[in-house]
């Protein structure tokens, strides 16, 4: 089990040697994630693709080029954010992540979130969204702001979706345009737990 205070360098080492599921023996390279260790915004995709598996880095293919453009539209760059995935290894043929694989990787992602402590988590794709907003439908909630555990969670379509369906690009661009506002918006303080009522005295 990974402790919450593990530094990112140690998490990366653990990811690169992980064999918690079958993907560990099928990968070319694990893809721990990369970026600013003190990022205010953390992006969480679904899983590495072919080019990410070859390079050992997240979002380096065509979807990565689009992500760079989207970040620039929001006034950000890769130096400002941290980028990771729900899965740290590529599923064969880029198939969807399996529940057991996501469970096996969950400790790594949890540790990254705890180590970075971002104010805003942007989920890219439905599997990433389900990790933070279970039961949601991405077509209904994309680009909206939610608060979970003292953080802002913003679900968005995966950039690869715009490459396959051109009409989604304008939607994704509009969602990214909201990020600067979300970054300026404070997170509501949790409401204090109700105190038990004081028992009245009979005498």
CA dihedral 146, 148, 153, 158 (to 10 degrees): -110
Range of the domain at 57: 39-184
Classify residue 34 by its DSSP letter. E
What per-residue confidence (pLDDT) applies to 187? 84
How many domains is the chain built from?
1
* pLDDT of residue 4 exceeding 90: no
Structure-block tokens of residue 81: 């954010």
Examine residue 140 and state whether it is found in any structural domain, yes or no: yes
14 touches 30 (CB < 8 A): no
The stretch 151-179 carries a mean pLDDT of 95
Examine residue 132 and state whether it is found in any structural domain, yes or no: yes
The pLDDT > 70 percentage for the chain reads: 91
Structure-block tokens of residue 22: 């079958």
Q: Which pLDDT band, with edges at 50, 70 and 90, does 194 fall under? A: low
Q: Is 48 exposed, middle or buried (0-12, 13-18, 19+ CB in 10 A)?
A: buried
CATH at residue 54: 3.40.470.10
The pLDDT > 90 percentage for the chain reads: 87
Examine residue 144 and state whether it is found in any structural domain, yes or no: yes
What is the tens place of the pLDDT at every residue in 62-106? 999 999 999 999 999 999 999 999 999 999 999 999 999 999 999
The alpha carbon of 61 is separated from its chain's Cα centroid by a whole number of angstroms, namely: 18
Query: What average pLDDT does the chain have?
Result: 91
The stretch 146-167 carries a mean pLDDT of 95
Examine residue 189 and state whether it is found in any structural domain, yes or no: no
Q: What are phi and psi of 55, to 5 degrees?
A: -90, -20
Examine residue 43 and state whether it is found in any structural domain, yes or no: yes
What per-residue confidence (pLDDT) applies to 199? 46
Q: Which pLDDT band, with edges at 50, 70 and 90, does 185 fall under? A: confident
What per-residue confidence (pLDDT) applies to 191? 56
Examine residue 25 and state whether it is found in any structural domain, yes or no: no
Nearest in space to 76 (alpha carbons), one of 36, 47, 33: 36
Examine residue 116 and state whether it is found in any structural domain, yes or no: yes
């Amino acid at each position: 089990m990974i402790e919450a205070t593990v530094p990112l360098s140690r998490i990366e080492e653990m990811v690169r040697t992980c064999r918690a599921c079958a993907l560990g023996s099928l990968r070319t390279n694990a893809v721990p994630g990369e970026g600013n260790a003190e990022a205010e915004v953390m992006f969480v995709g679904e899983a590495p693709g072919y080019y990410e598996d070859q390079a050992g880095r997240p979002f380096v293919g065509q979807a990565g080029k689009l992500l760079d453009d989207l970040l620039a539209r929001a006034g950000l760059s890769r130096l400002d954010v941290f980028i990771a995935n729900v899965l740290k290894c590529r599923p064969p043929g880029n198939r969807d992540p399996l529940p057991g694989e996501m469970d096996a990787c969950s400790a790594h992602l949890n540790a990254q979130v705890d180590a970075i402590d971002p104010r805003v988590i942007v989920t890219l794709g439905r599997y990433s969204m389900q990790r933070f907003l279970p039961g949601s439908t991405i077509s209904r909630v994309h680009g909206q702001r939610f608060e979970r555990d003292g953080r802002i969670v913003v679900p968005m379509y995966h950039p690869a979706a715009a490459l396959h369906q051109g009409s989604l690009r304008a939607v994704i661009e509009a969602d990214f345009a909201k990020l600067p506002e979300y970054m300026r918006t404070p997170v509501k303080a949790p409401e204090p737990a109700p105190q038990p009522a004081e028992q009245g005295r009979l005498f």
